[in-house]
Chain A
Amino acid sequence: MFIELDFQDNGKQSNYQAISTLAQLGYDGVVFSRTINDVITKNDICTFKELDLKELDQNENSSFKNLSSLTLMKNEKKQFRQYSRLNIIISSKKNIFLLKKMENILKTYDIVAVFPQSTEIFEKCIELPTIDIISFDLSLKYLIKIKYKQVNKAIINGLFFEIRYSSMFKTKQSQARKNTFSNAINVVKYTKGKNLLIASGANDPINLRGPYDVMNMATFFNIPFNQAKNILTANSESVISHGVMRKTYFGVIKVEDKKKIPKELEESTDEDEDEDKNKEEIEIEKEEMMIEKIKKPIILIQK
């Protein structure tokens, strides 16, 4: 159960290509993301709609790329899951209060992530209840100063830290590749492998890699073999459940739209009417059976 935790949302056709490549590589879920700088406004409500995978069958011809996605549609129980995500880049201290104030807007997304740009902002982001992930921009030369005490507080509150590997694939800028290695090792040192996530913040589906390739890459970040698989499977699902609990009112009540109710509950009302009809039909059929017996008597022939 591998889930890809960060892929940028650029429209319908790019999303279809991403889903087809991810299904070919072996993933079972995607999170489509969107980035914002500093200020959160009312226009930032989530406008993400889940894509119908059955349209792939009808519109596009069956090419080699899209075959793997169609295998999932054969087993209808096994569906390809899709979620939404928000990335917020904070560079000034004055805009931190918006994260508490604009709580209702942040609740429309499944996962919320924060990119702090200084140590003072990092201290204040730890105690916020409206956040799931804290991640860093690893292609810069100098990372933020991290302290052990602050990281341990965040882990007790239930936050996650993240590493992104898409900045390693810029061949013309060889400095970005060197910086990601050194900064990622630094992040692993302070967290000691707890509450870690690995994701790719990619634009193109070419920069995506399979799950076992990512696990091999994690061993070079000084993550031991046992934890490398847990990071991709267990931690990625716990982040999604953390986002689900964030939407509720202190974990007690949850409000949903009418459209999101599954169709099985709506169809249950029709079954009651069918049971009433059956009784009437049974009485009619009883009479028919008696009439048929009279019309067609049983004839026995003795040998």
Chain B
Amino acid sequence: MVRVKFRYLLGHVRWQTTTKMNSLDISGIYHYLKNSVKLNFGEYAICRLGWTLNVKQYNPLTGLFIVRCSRSQMRQVWLSLTLLDEINSQKCAISIIHSAGTIRSCNLQAIKHTNSSLLVAKSLIQIKNEKEKYQKKKNKKKKNKKKKNKYLPNTQVKKNKSKK
């Protein structure tokens, strides 16, 4: 049957200074988003969006949020998000990572986005430890260096186990 279809946009907020914006809420983002759509595309665009415009999730620690809009107005909402400059008199920048038809696929992409940055933090510690171990092994190998002879046949030094 006829069904209203939506698009869910996954976005990432980036601040100029690293002060913690604990006062920012879902309603705050909705208020600034609506103003930017009004500024760039006019009141007709807001009337066409209507009740479908909504902010579903927002995480102040990582800066990820999910926005819902109707399928025909996705590009206009996208542009109004990129042109958003100030929130609560602080400068910010928004970049959109993924657009999907369901919230579930957006959440899966959010997990991948944070995993890639967590892996780096873990792997850096591992890389440092591995490098130290590798350098220690190299220093030991140089003392007891035995090169293989390419020109001689395979000479196997047999070690016989003496049974008593």
A-side interface residues toward B, CB under 8 Å?
21, 25, 62, 64, 67-68, 70-71, 74, 168-169, 171, 177, 204, 206-210, 212-213, 216-217, 219-220, 278, 281-282, 285-286, 289, 292, 296, 298-301
Q: Which of A207, A212, A299 contacts B96 (CB 8 A)?
A: A212
Query: B160 touching A299 by the CB < 8 A rule?
Result: yes
Given contacts A74-B123, A282-B149, contact A25 B160 (CB under 8 A): no
Alpha-carbon gap, A74 to B131, bound state (A): 13
**A169/B152 contact (C-beta < 8 A), A212-B96, A219-B75 known:** no
- In the docked arrangement, what's the CA distance between A169 and B116, Å? 30
Q: Which residues of B contact A (CB under 8 A)?
A: 14, 16, 75, 78-79, 82-83, 85-86, 91-93, 95-96, 116-117, 120-121, 123-124, 127, 147, 149-152, 155, 157-158, 160, 162-163
CB distance from B120 to the nearest CB of A (A): 5
B121 and A301 contacting across the interface, CB-CB below 8 Å: no
Residue among A209, A219, A286 with the highest chain B CB neighbour number at 10 A: A209
Q: Are B75 and A286 in contact (CB under 8 A)?
A: no
Please state if B14 and A71 are interface contacts (CB–CB under 8 Å): no
- Point out the residues of chain B lying under 8 angstroms from A217, CB to CB: 79, 82
Q: Are A206 and B163 in contact, with the CB atoms below 8 A? A: no
Q: Is the CB of B120 within 8 A of A70?
A: yes
Pick from B75, B116, B157: contact of A216, CB under 8 Å: B75
Provide the main secondary structure of the chain A interface. helix
Q: How far is the CA of A220 from the CA of B77 in the complex (A)?
A: 12
The reply to whether A289 and B83 form a contact with Cβ atoms under 8 Å apart is no
Known: A206-B16, A209-B95, A285-B147. A301 touches B163 (CB 8 A): yes
A-B contacts besides A67-B121, A169-B83, 14 pairs, CB < 8 Å: A64-B117, A68-B120, A70-B124, A168-B83, A169-B85, A171-B85, A204-B16, A209-B82, A210-B95, A212-B96, A213-B95, A289-B152, A292-B157, A299-B160
Q: Once the chains are docked, how many angstroms separate the CA of A298 from the CA of B55?
A: 81
Chain A residues within 8 Å of B91, by CB: 206
A171 near B162 with CB under 8 A, answer no
Partner of A281, one of B78, B85, B96, B147: B147
CB-defined contacts of A285 to chain B, threshold 8 Å: 147, 149
User: What is the minimal beta-carbon distance from B93 to any residue of chain A, in angstroms?
Assistant: 5
Instruction: Flag if A71 contacts B79 (CB, 8 Å).
Output: no
Residues of chain B with a CB closer than 8 A to A25's CB:
95
In the assembled complex, which residues on chain B have CB atoms less than 8 Å from the CB atom of A296?
157
Which chain A residues lie closer than 8 Å to B93 at the CB level? Answer: 206-209
Contacting pair A71 B116 (CB below 8 A): yes
- Bound Cα distance from A171 to B92, whole angstroms: 12
Complex contacts, B85 vs chain A, CB 8 Å: 169, 171
**Cα distance A59–B6 when bound, in Å?**
47
Task: Tell me, in angstroms, the Cα distance from A34 to B66 when the chains sit together.
Answer: 39
Residues of A contacting B155 with CB < 8 Å?
289
Given contacts A206-B91, A206-B93, A212-B96, contact A282 B120 (CB under 8 A): no
Residue of A71, A210, A299, A301 near B120 (CB, 8 A) is A71
Which 5 residue pairs of A and B lie closest in terms of their CB atoms, listed nearest first?
A210-B95, A171-B85, A213-B82, A67-B120, A206-B93
Q: In the complex, which of the residues A68, A206, A292 contacts B117, with contact meaning CB atoms closer than 8 Å? A: A68
**Distance, CA A278 to CA B151, complexed state (A):** 12
A62 vs B119: C-alpha distance when bound (angstroms): 13
Nearest CB on B from A84, distance (A)? 25
